[in-house]
Amino acid sequence: MGRTIAEGPYEWDSAKDRANQRKHNVSFVEAASVLLHRDVKIIENPTAEGRFVAIGYSRRGRILTVVHEARGERERVISAWRSTRAERQRYLTPEAEEG
């Protein structure tokens, strides 16, 4: 395990960040920027209690999917990747209005 990196209201493990960059070409600094975007969509992760999935634009203009969880007063970034076609569609499609 690496050391915990804190940046503003977000934190992550440095070794996990390096592994994520190798695997997905997305840094956790960029991933955290998604959580700050005004149009981010956040849903509960159906497969892991206490975790959330955010989809939105990063500061680099890419649509990313970010898994994160609350850790005290910070949000911990767990994983991030360029959103799949289905994830982008879910993000870009307006929610159906209930009548």
What is the CATH architecture of 4-92? 2-Layer Sandwich (3.30)
- Please, which pLDDT band fits residue 37 given cuts at 50, 70 and 90? very high
What is the β-pairing status of strands 74-82 and 63-71?
antiparallel
List the domain boundaries for the chain.
Answer: 4-92
Question: 50-69: per-residue pLDDT in tens?
Answer: 999 999 999 999 999 999 99
Q: Averaged over 77-86, what is the pLDDT?
A: 97
**Which residues, listed in sequence order, are joined to residue 7 by a DSSP beta bridge?**
10
Give the model's pLDDT for residue 98: 41
pTM over 0.85: yes
